[in-house]
C-alpha cells in the first residue's frame, strides 16, 4: 500500500548511466549464433527458436513465436521510471514482436481488485505487496508462473524471495525491483568534522547517538506522515527491531499472527523503538536542543519526504530510511551527491545480536500474471531473467535482488550497496512485514496505531491490543 | 506531442460516430412515436420520454444501491453472508463511535457557521457600494477544490520547533501574540476537528453569502417599507421581516451544505487521513473498501451514510418545491 507513494519519489539519480548493457550485448553477440544464456535456451515453454533469428536478437531467441501479440502491464510505478522500463525492454519488443503496453496508476491498489472483479484484469501487474497478492489469489485472478520463471527465481534470488511469490504451495510471482530498507542515512562530512565513525554494532550506534547529544547535534530525525499511508515508516522501525532481536523464524510467526502483537516479544521490540525514535533527547530536536522539527509527536506530522532535511546541514545526525530515499536528497540540496565521499550516504543498520546474521528488511514488486497466454509467459520469463535485470539496473536508480546482475552494473554507490545486501545469500532477508500482513492490519490498524503511539503517546499495550483486535478473524 | 494528437484522432472519430449513432436512434424513435396515434399516444409518449431517465437511474443509482446493501451483509471478500456483523462493527467499536461523533459534529457545526457567516456578510455587504468586489473575493474559495484548499490550510497549521523560523501562519501569529510555545495544531484533540471544519466553512461561506444575498434582495420593497412605517427598525426588522421572508432559502442553504458535509472526504484525507482522532465516515469508508479491501465494512459505512443523507435530501427537495410554488 505504501509503495506508490514511496516509488513516486524515485527519480533518476544517475542520469548519465546510460551504458545500456542490453544494446552492448546485442551488438556484441555476433560470434556464435545461438549462444543465448542457459535460461533462455532450455526450458521456455513458449520457445520456438526457428533457427533464423534476426541479427542482434540472439539473446531473445527463447522468447520468439509471439509476433504481433500485445501484453498489458499495470503498475504503480509512474514516470519518469516508466520510461526506463520501456527503454529496458525496447529491444525485447523489437526482436520478439511482442508489444508491452505499460499503464501506471497512483491508485494501483484500489483499481487492480476492481478491474479483476470487473473482468478487465491486465495481463501482468507489478504488485508491491505479497499481502495483496495473497488476497487476490484467494479471490481468484492470478495464474501460476511458468516453469522457466520459476527456474530463474531459483537460480538468481535469495530463497526468501520465492517464498513471498508463493501462495499455498503454488508459485505465482517473480520479484522485479527491490529496495533495501535497513539503511541509516548520514552526512559523511558532518561525521568527519566531528570525528564520528560509522557504527558497526547496535551499541556503537547508540554510543554515537549519546555523543551527538553531548555535542549539541540531535542524533535522529524522523517523519511518518505520508498522506493516505501515514504511519508506514514507523512500522518499518518496528520491523527492523523485530528481525534484529528475534531472527527470521519469529518474524515469520509474527507476520502470520502466531506471535501476536500484544506479546512479550513485540512489546520488547516496541520498547527498543521507544528508546530510539521516541526518545525525547534523540529525535526531531525536541525542546532540549531547539533544533529540527520539534518534539516526539512532531514525527507524526512530519512528512517522511521532509524528515531528512536536517542531515546535510548537520542539524540531525541520522535518519533510518530505505534505499529509495536516495532520490530525496536532490530536493534538499541541488546537485546533492549520494556517495561515501559526497553530501550524504547510508550505512547498514547494524545487527543487535550475533544470533541473527546480517538482518535485512526489504521490499519490492512481484510480477503477477492474470493470463497464461504464451506471449504473457514470455514476458514473465524475460522479466525474471538476469539479462533484463542487468539492462534495467544499468539505466540507474533501480536495484534488483537478482544475483545474476554484476555489482559493477550499478553506477550509483547507494544502488551498489543496496544490491550487495539484497543479493547476500547468507543474510537474514525478510520482506517488509506490514506488506505481508492482511491489509486490515498492514495497511490499516498498524499504520494508524503506530501513528497514535507517536502523536498521542498512546500506551504501548493499548496500541498492540488494538492492532491485534483488527486482525481479520477468518 | 504531435504524435499523441495524431494517435488520439481515431478516438475522436469513434466518439463522433457514437454521437451520430445516438442521434440516429433518437430520430428513429421520434419518427416512430410520431406515427403513433389514438389512445396509445399518451402512454407511449410518456414511456419514450421517461424511459431513458428511468433506465439510467436504475443502472446508475438503484442497482448499485441494492448491490451495496447486499455487500454490506457479506464478509470482506464478499464470499460469505454474515448478516448484521458489519453494522455491529460500525456502531459497536470505540473507534467507530468516535468516527460517528466526529461526523455528527461536522454535520452540525460546518453548515451552521457557514450559513451564519454567509448571512452576516450578505447583510453587511447588502447596501455597500461596489459590493460585487468583496463578494467576489469571499466567493472565490468556492472555486478552489477541497484538496487544494486543504493543502493551503495544511501550510497554515504547519508546526515547527518554536525556536526555529516558522512555516505555519497560525503558529507565527500565536508567537507574535506572545504565546511562546504554540502547539502542534493538528495534534490538538479534539480541537483539531474544528480546525478542519474551518476549511469547510471557509469554502462554503461564499456560497451561503451569494444565495442569501440574492434572497434578501428579492424581498419586495413594499414589505420592508410597510414594516418601517409600522415602526420596525434594526434587529426587529431583521428578525421579524427579513428572516421570515428568506426562511425557505435559509433552509435550502443549510441542508445543501449539510449534504456536502456528510460526504466530505477530501479535507480529512489530505490533512490528517483520519489520524489524531479526526476520522469521519466517508474517509473510513474509502479506507475500508480500497485500502484494506474489506468491501463488507466499506459498504456498511456507505449504507449508513446513504441512509443519513436521505432525510436531508427529501427535506431539501420539499423546500425547493415550496419556494418554486411561491414564485
Q: State whether A154 and A290 are in the same domain.
A: no
Question: Distance (Å, rounded) from C-alpha A160 to C-alpha A150?
Answer: 13
Question: What pLDDT score was predicted for residue A20?
Answer: 35
State pLDDT tens for residues A241-254.
Answer: 999 999 999 999 99
Rounded Cα–Cα distance for residues B173 and B116 (Å): 25
- Cβ neighbours, 10 Å, residue B24: 10
- In a shared domain, residues A369 and A262: no
A19 confidence band (pLDDT: 50, 70, 90): very low
Please determine, for residue A378, whether its predicted confidence score (pLDDT) is greater than 50: yes
Task: Give CA–CA dist A225/A234, Å, rounded.
Answer: 10
**Helices B295-326 and B85-92, axial angle in degrees (round to 10):** 70
Whether A110 and chain B come into contact, CB under 8 Å, resolves to: yes
If pLDDT is split at 50, 70 and 90, which confidence band does B150 have? very high
Contacts of B139 by beta carbon, 8 Å cutoff, 6+ apart: B206, B207, B209, B210
Q: With a cut of 60, say whether residue A18 has pLDDT above it.
A: no
A291 touches chain B (CB under 8 A): yes
Residues A423 and A440 in one domain: no
Looking at residue B326, its pLDDT comes to 62
- Chain A positions touching B161 (Cβ under 8 A) are 284-285, 287, 290-294, 298
Mean pLDDT for B120-137 is 87
Among the partner-chain residues A293, A439, A448, the one whose CB lies closest to the CB of B275 is: A448
Chain B residues whose CB is inside 8 A of the A287 CB are 161, 163
Q: What pLDDT was estimated at residue B2?
A: 55
- Better pLDDT: B42 or B18: B18
Peptide bond into B190 cis (omega under 30): yes
- Whether A169 and A276 share a structural domain: no
Across A253-270, average pLDDT: 95
Which whole number is the average pLDDT over A173-185? 94
Q: Do B275 and A113 touch (CB under 8 A)?
A: no
Same-domain status, A103 and A48: yes
Best to test chain A binding among B154, B157, B183, B184 (most A CBs inside 10 Å): B184
Asked if the model's pLDDT at residue A7 lies above 80, the reply is no
Same domain for A323 and A207: yes
Q: What is the pLDDT of residue B118?
A: 94
Residue B6 banded pLDDT, cuts 50, 70, 90: low
Interface membership of B167 toward A (CB under 8 Å): no
- Per-residue model confidence as pLDDT tens digits over A401-443: 998 899 988 988 999 999 999 988 888 999 999 999 988 898 8
Chain B positions in Cβ-Cβ contact with residue A292 (cut-off 8 Å): 161, 164
Query: What is the number of residues in chain A?
Result: 474
Of residues B285, B294, B269, B291, the one with CA closest to residue A108: B291
Are residues A306 and A207 part of one domain?
A: yes
User: What is d(CA B147, CA B134) in angstroms, rounded to the nearest whole number?
Assistant: 24
| Cα A132 to Cα A437: distance, rounded to the nearest angstrom | 9
The answer to whether A151 faces chain B, any CB pair under 8 Å, is no
What per-residue string of b and e applies to B220-258 under the rule 16 or more CB within 10 Å gives b?
Answer: eeeeeeebeeeebeeeebeeebbeebbebbbbbbbbbbb
**What total of structural domains would you count in chain A?**
2
Indicate if A257 and A377 belong to the same structural domain: no
In this structure, the answer to whether residues A312 and A458 fall within a common structural domain is yes
- Judged by CB atoms closer than 8 Å, whether chains meet at B293 and A135 is answered as yes
In this structure, the answer to whether residues A334 and A199 fall within a common structural domain is yes
Q: Distance of CA A415 to CAs A18, A346, A400, A429, Å?
A: 15, 11, 9, 17
Please, which pLDDT band fits residue B3 given cuts at 50, 70 and 90? Answer: low
A135/B189 touch (CB, cutoff 8 Å), yes or no: no
Q: How far apart are CA A220 and CA A208, in angstroms?
A: 11
Q: Which set of grid coordinates corresponds to residue A89? A: 525492454
d(CA B101, CA B90): 12
- pLDDT at res. A14: 35
Contacts of B154 in chain A (CB under 8 A): none
- Predicted confidence (pLDDT) at residue B40 exceeds the cutoff of 80: no
Question: A368 φ, ψ to 5°?
Answer: -110, 130
Q: What separation in angstroms does the CA of B271 have from each of A174, A256, B188?
A: 37, 33, 13
Does A303 touch chain B if contact means CB atoms closer than 8 Å?
no
Residue of A117, A131, A286, A455 to mutate for B, most B C-beta atoms under 10 A: A455
Please indicate if any CB of chain A lies within 8 Å of the CB of B287: yes
Residue position matching grid coordinates 410597510: B226
Global pTM reads: 0.79
Q: Which helix (H) or strand (E) holds A316?
A: strand A316-320
- A-contacting residues in B 80-99 (Cβ below 8 Å): 95
Task: Give the torsion sign (CA, A281, A283, A289, A294).
Answer: negative
Residue A127 β-bridge partners: A366
Mean pLDDT of the residues in chain A: 84
B179 phi/psi in degrees, rounded to 5:
-85, 110
pLDDT (0 to 100) of residue A10 = 36
Contacts of A284 in chain B (CB under 8 A): 161
On whether any CB of chain A is under 8 Å from the CB of B164, the answer is yes
User: Is residue B78's pLDDT more than 70?
Assistant: yes
Contact A221, A292 (CB under 8 A): yes
Question: What's the pLDDT band for A28 if we cut at 50, 70, 90?
Answer: very low
Q: For residue B117, is pLDDT > 90?
A: yes
Are residues A439 and B273, on separate chains, in Cβ contact within 8 Å? no
Residue A37: pLDDT over 80: no
Residues on chain A touching B162 (C-beta within 8 angstroms) = 294
Contact state of A109 with B160 under an 8 Å Cβ cutoff = no
Q: What CATH number does the domain containing A41 carry? A: 3.40.190.10
Asked if B293 is an interface residue toward chain A (Cβ–Cβ < 8 A), one would say yes
Cα distances (Å, whole numbers) of residue B317 to A306, B204, B206, B303 = 48, 20, 22, 21
- Cβ proximity of B243 and B178 under 8 Å: no
Higher pLDDT, B254 or B325: B254
How far is residue A105's CA from residue A125's CA, in Å, rounded to a whole number? 11
Residue pair A376/A47 in contact (Cβ under 8 Å)? The answer is no
Q: Of A4-13, A135-144, A339-348, which gets the smallest average pLDDT? A: A4-13
A300 touches chain B (CB under 8 A): yes
Q: For residue B269, give the nearest of B145, B112, B160 by alpha carbon.
A: B145
User: How many Å apart are CA B128 and CA B118, to the nearest integer?
Assistant: 15
Which residues of A fall within a CB distance of 8 Å from B184?
294-295, 297-298, 301
Could you tell me if A303 and A284 are in contact, meaning their C-beta atoms sit under 8 angstroms apart?
no
Query: Are B276 and A455 within 8 A, CB to CB?
Result: yes
pLDDT tier at A52, thresholds 50, 70, 90:
low
Residue contact B269–A292, C-beta within 8 A: no
Q: Is A230 on the interface with B (CB under 8 A)?
A: yes
CB contact under 8 A, B291 and A456: no
- Over residues A344-370, the mean pLDDT reads 93
Region A256-266: mean pLDDT is 95
H or E, element range at B326: helix B295-326
Q: Which three cell numbers stand for residue A235?
A: 512500522
Render pLDDT for B200-230 as a digit per residue (tens, 0 to 9): 999 999 999 999 999 998 888 888 888 888 8
- The partner residue sitting opposite B77, judged by closest CB among A139, A292, A456, is A139
Q: How confident is the model at residue A294, as a pLDDT?
A: 64
Q: Is A51 left (phi over 0), alpha (psi -120 to 50) or beta?
A: left
CB contact under 8 A, A294 and B274: no
For residues A247 and A259, membership in a common domain is answered with yes
Q: What is the mean pLDDT of residues B34-54?
A: 80
Q: Which fold has domain B85-326?
A: MetI-like fold (1.10.3720)
Cβ distance A109 to B274 less than 8 Å, yes or no, reads: no
User: In terms of residue numbers, what domain contains A196?
Assistant: 183-359+433-470
Size of interface A-B (CB pairs under 8 A): 86
Residue B293 has its nearest CB partner, among A113, A285, A295, at A113
CA of B188, closest CA in chain A: separation in Å? 9
Give the Cβ contact number of residue B285 at 10 Å. 22
Q: Which residues of A touch B77 (CB under 8 A)?
A: 135, 138-139
DSSP string, A153-170: HHHHS-HHHHHHTEETTE
| φ, ψ dihedrals at A425, nearest 5° | -75, -25
Given a cut of 60, whether residue B142 has pLDDT beyond it is yes
Confidence class for position A287, pLDDT limits 50, 70, 90:
very low
List CB contacts (< 8 A) between B276 and chain A: 300, 451-452, 455-456
Q: What are the beta bridge partners of residue A167?
A: A170
Question: Residue A177: which H helix or E strand, with range?
Answer: strand A174-180
Upper half-sphere CA count for residue A31 (Cβ side, 13 Å):
4
Residue of B nearest to A138 (CA): B77
Mean pLDDT value across residues B12-39 = 85
Quick one: cell of A291? 533544533
Q: A271-282 pLDDT, tens per residue?
A: 999 999 998 888
Q: What is the dihedral of CA A421, A423, A429, A435, to 10 degrees?
A: 100
Please compute, for residue B129, the number of CA atoms within 13 A of its CA located in the half-sphere on the CB side: 0
Amino acid at each position: 500500500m505504501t509503495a506508490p507513494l514511496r516509488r513516486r519519489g524515485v527519480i533518476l539519480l544517475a542520469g548519465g548511466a546510460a551504458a545500456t548493457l542490453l544494446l552492448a550485448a546485442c551488438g556484441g553477440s555476433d560470434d556464435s549464433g545461438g549462444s543465448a544464456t542457459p535460461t533462455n535456451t532450455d526450458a521456455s515453454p513458449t520457445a520456438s527458436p526457428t533457427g533464423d533469428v534476426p541479427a542482434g536478437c540472439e539473446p531473445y531467441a527463447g522468447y520468439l513465436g509471439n509476433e504481433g501479440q500485445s501484453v498489458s502491464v499495470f503498475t504503480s510505478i509512474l514516470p519518469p521510471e516508466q520510461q526506463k522500463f520501456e527503454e529496458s525492454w525496447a529491444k525485447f519488443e523489437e526482436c520478439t514482436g511482442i508489444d508491452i503496453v505499460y499503464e501506471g496508476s497512483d491508485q494501483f491498489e484500489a483499481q487492480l481488485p476492481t478491474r479483476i472483479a470487473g473482468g478487465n484484469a491486465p495481463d501482468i501487474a507489478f504488485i508491491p505487496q505479497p499481502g495483496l497478492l495473497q488476497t487476490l489469489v484467494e479471490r481468484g485472478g492470478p495464474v501460476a508462473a511458468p516453469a522457466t520463471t520459476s527456474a530463474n527465481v531459483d537460480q538468481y534470488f535469495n530463497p526468501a524471495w520465492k517464498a513471498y511469490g508463493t501462495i499455498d504451495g503454488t508459485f505465482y510471482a517473480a520479484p522485479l525491483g527491490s529496495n533495501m530498507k535497513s539503511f541509516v542515512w548520514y552526512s559523511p562530512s558532518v561525521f568527519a568534522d566531528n570525528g564520528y565513525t560509522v557504527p558497526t554494532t547496535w551499541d556503537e550506534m547508540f554510543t554515537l547517538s549519546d555523543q551527538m547529544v553531548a555535542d549539541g547535534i540531535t542524533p535522529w530525525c524522523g517523519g511518518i506522515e505520508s498522506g493516505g499511508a501515514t504511519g508506514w515508516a514507523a512500522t518499518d522501525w518496528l520491523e527492523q527491531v523485530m528481525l534484529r532481536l528475534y531472527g527470521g523464524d519469529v518474524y515469520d510467526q509474527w507476520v502470520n499472527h502466531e506471535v501476536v502483537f500484544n506479546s512479550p516479544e513485540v512489546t520488547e521490540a516496541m520498547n527498543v523503538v521507544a528508546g530510539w525514535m521516541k526518545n525525547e533527547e534523540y529525535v526531531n530536536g525536541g525542546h532540549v536542543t531547539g533544533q529540527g522539527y520539534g518534539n516526539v509527536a512532531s514525527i507524526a506530522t512530519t512528512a517522511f519526504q521532509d524528515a531528512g532535511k536536517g542531515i546535510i546541514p548537520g542539524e540531525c545526525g541520522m535518519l533510518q530510511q530505505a534505499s529509495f530515499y536516495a532520490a530525496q536528497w536532490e530536493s534538499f540540496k541541488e546537485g546533492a551527491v549520494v556517495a561515501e565521499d559526497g553530501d550524504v550516504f547510508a550505512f547498514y543498520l547494524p545487527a543487535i545480536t550475533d544470533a541473527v546474521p546480517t538482518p535485512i528488511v526489504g521490499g519490492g514488486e512481484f510480477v503477477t500474471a492474470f493470463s497464461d497466454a504464451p506471449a504473457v509467459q514470455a514476458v514473465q520469463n524475460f522479466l525474471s531473467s538476469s539479462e533484463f535485470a542487468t539492462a534495467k539496473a544499468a539505466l540507474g536508480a533501480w536495484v534488483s535482488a537478482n544475483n545474476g546482475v554484476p555489482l559493477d552494473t550499478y553506477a550509483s554507490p547507494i544502488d551498489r550497496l543496496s544490491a550487495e545486501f539484497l543479493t547476500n545469500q547468507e543474510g537474514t532477508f525478510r520482506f517488509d512485514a506490514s506488506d505481508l500482513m492482511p491489509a486490515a492490519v498492514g495497511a490499516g490498524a498498524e499504520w494508524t496505531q503506530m501513528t497514535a503511539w507517536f502523536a498521542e503517546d498512546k500506551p504501548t499495550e493499548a496500541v498492540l491490543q488494538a492492532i491485534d483486535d483488527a486482525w481479520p478473524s477468518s | 506531442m504531435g504524435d499523441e494528437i495524431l494517435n488520439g484522432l481515431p478516438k475522436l472519430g469513434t466518439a463522433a460516430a457514437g454521437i451520430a449513432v445516438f442521434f440516429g436512434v433518437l430520430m428513429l424513435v421520434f419518427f416512430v412515436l410520431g406515427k403513433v396515434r389514438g389512445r396509445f399516444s399518451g402512454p407511449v409518449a410518456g414511456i419514450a420520454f421517461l424511459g431513458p431517465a428511468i433506465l439510467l437511474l436504475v443502472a446508475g443509482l438503484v442497482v448499485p444501491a441494492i448491490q451495496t446493501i447486499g455487500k454490506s451483509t457479506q464478509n470482506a471478500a464478499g464470499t460469505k453472508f454474515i448478516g448484521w456483523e458489519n453494522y455491529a462493527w460500525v456502531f459497536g467499536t470505540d473507534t467507530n463511535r468516535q468516527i460517528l461523533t466526529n461526523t455528527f459534529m461536522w454535520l452540525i457545526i460546518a453548515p451552521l457557521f457557514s450559513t451564519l457567516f454567509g448571512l452576516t456578510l450578505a447583510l453587511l455587504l447588502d447596501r455597500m457600494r461596489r459590493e460585487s468586489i468583496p463578494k467576489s473575493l469571499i466567493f472565490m474559495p468556492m472555486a478552489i477544490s477541497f484538496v487544494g484548499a486543504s493543502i493551503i490550510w495544511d501550510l497554515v497549521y504547519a508546526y515547527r520547533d518554536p525556536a526555529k523560523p516558522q512555516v505555519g501562519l497560525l503558529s507565527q501569529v500565536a508567537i507574535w501574540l506572545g504565546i511562546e510555545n504554540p502547539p502542534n495544531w493538528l495534534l490538538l484533540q479534539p480541537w483539531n476537528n474544528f480546525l478542519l471544519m474551518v476549511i469547510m466553512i471557509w469554502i462554503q461561506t461564499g456560497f451561503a453569502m451569494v444565495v442569501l444575498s440574492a434572497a434578501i434582495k428579492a424581498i419586495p420593497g413594499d414589505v420592508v417599507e410597510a414594516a418601517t412605517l409600522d415602526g420596525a427598525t434594526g434587529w426587529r426588522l431583521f428578525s421579524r421581516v427579513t428572516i421570515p421572508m428568506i426562511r425557505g432559502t435559509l433552509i435550502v442553504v443549510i441542508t445543501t451544505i449539510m449534504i456536502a458535509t456528510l460526504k466530505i472526504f477530501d479535507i480529512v484525507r489530505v490533512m490528517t487521513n483520519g489520524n489524531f482522532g479526526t476520522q469521519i465516515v466517508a474517509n473510513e469508508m474509502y479506507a475500508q473498501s480500497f485500502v484494506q479491501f474489506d468491501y463488507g465494512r466499506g459498504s456498511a459505512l456507505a449504507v449508513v451514510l446513504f441512509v443519513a443523507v436521505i432525510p436531508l435530501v427529501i427535506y431539501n427537495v420539499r423546500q425547493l418545491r415550496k419556494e418554486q410554488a411561491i414564485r
